[in-house]
């Protein structure tokens, strides 16, 4: 299992993280404050201050929780056999699952994964959050189940962001069901890449 090393190592209990997330959903990142978190958690600001809790540690704790969940969800995907297309399908499904569990947090800002990448370190060469998609596209290009996107890292970036933020937007803003949003996005991404692969092979 991959392990993260947080630059702001500090243990924040789940109750405070839940309170901080509730404040973020209601007031956004600019409105996150110890006073509001303390009120939501039914604790005093002085208690949080004495425990060394700051706005920084709360934000980092939320991003750490998201990142840990992501790594746990994708560990089976990274180690599963199959074609590149099968790996890509599994990676997109795992991303949908993570997005659903953190839908409110992700809806606050489309910068959440960028902030997490800045604060939570991944092992060298893992490509961070894009890692599973890089691996799937590379495998697919090698076994012919997916068309080569050109630069693999660029293709992984497009797939990740299209799947993640398209899904969050459709679920939160358009109120689409999980099934509806997942089927449409996956069809666009996976079948589109597969079709290009088939067309390329027919013209060779």
- Out of 78-82, 101-105, 118-122, 192-196, pick the least confident: 192-196
Confidence band, pLDDT 50/70/90 cuts, at residue 12:
confident
pLDDT tens digits, 17-56: 999 999 999 999 899 999 999 999 999 999 898 989 999 9
Q: What 3-state DSSP class applies to 12?
A: coil
Task: Using CA atoms of 164, 169, 170, 174 in order, give the dihedral in degrees to the nearest 10.
Answer: 170
Q: How is the chain split into domains, by residue range?
A: 60-202
Q: Is the dihedral of CA 12, 18, 23, 24 positive or negative?
A: positive
Using CA atoms, how far residue 176 sits from 89, 107, 171, 194, 202, in Å, is 20, 14, 5, 25, 37
| Distance (Å, whole) CA 117 – CA 114 | 5
Find the length of the chain.
204
Residue 19: what pLDDT? 96
Angle at 129 between CA 132 and CA 87, to 5 degrees: 15
Whether residue 6 is predicted with pLDDT greater than 50 in this model: the reply is no
3-state helix, strand and coil shares in percent for the chain, rounded to the nearest 5: 75, 0, 25
The class (CATH top level) of 60-202 is mainly alpha
Whether residue 11 is predicted with pLDDT greater than 70 in this model: the reply is no
pLDDT tens digits, 57-88: 999 999 999 999 999 999 999 899 999 999 99
Whether residue 134 is predicted with pLDDT greater than 80 in this model: the reply is yes
Residues linked to residue 6 through DSSP beta bridges, in sequence order: 120
Residue 127: what pLDDT? 85
Whether residue 147 is predicted with pLDDT greater than 80 in this model: the reply is yes
The pLDDT mean for the chain works out to 88
Residue 58 contacts by C-beta under 8 Å, 6 or more apart in sequence?
A: 12, 16, 17, 20, 32, 34, 37
């Amino acid at each position: 299992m991959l392990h993260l090393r947080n630059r702001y190592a500090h243990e924040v209990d789940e109750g405070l993280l839940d309170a901080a997330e509730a404040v973020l959903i209601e007031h956004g990142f600019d409105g996150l404050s110890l006073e509001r978190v303390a009120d939501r958690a039914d604790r005093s600001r002085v208690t949080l201050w004495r425990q060394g809790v700051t706005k920084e540690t709360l934000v980092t704790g939320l991003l750490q929780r998201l990142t840990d969940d992501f790594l746990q969800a994708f560990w089976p995907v990274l180690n599963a056999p199959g074609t590149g297309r099968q790996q890509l399908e599994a990676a997109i499904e795992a991303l949908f699952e993570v997005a659903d569990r953190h839908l409110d947090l992700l809806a606050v800002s489309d910068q959440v994964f960028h902030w997490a990448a800045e604060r939570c370190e991944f092992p060298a060469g893992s490509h961070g959050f894009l890692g599973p998609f890089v691996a799937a596209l590379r495998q697919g290009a090698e076994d012919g189940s997916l068309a080569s996107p050109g630069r693999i890292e660029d293709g992984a970036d497009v797939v990740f962001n299209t799947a993640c933020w398209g899904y969050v937007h459709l679920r939160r803003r358009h109120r689409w069901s999980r099934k509806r949003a997942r089927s449409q996005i996956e069809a666009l991404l996976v079948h589109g890449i597969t079709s290009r692969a088939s067309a390329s092979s027919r013209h060779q």
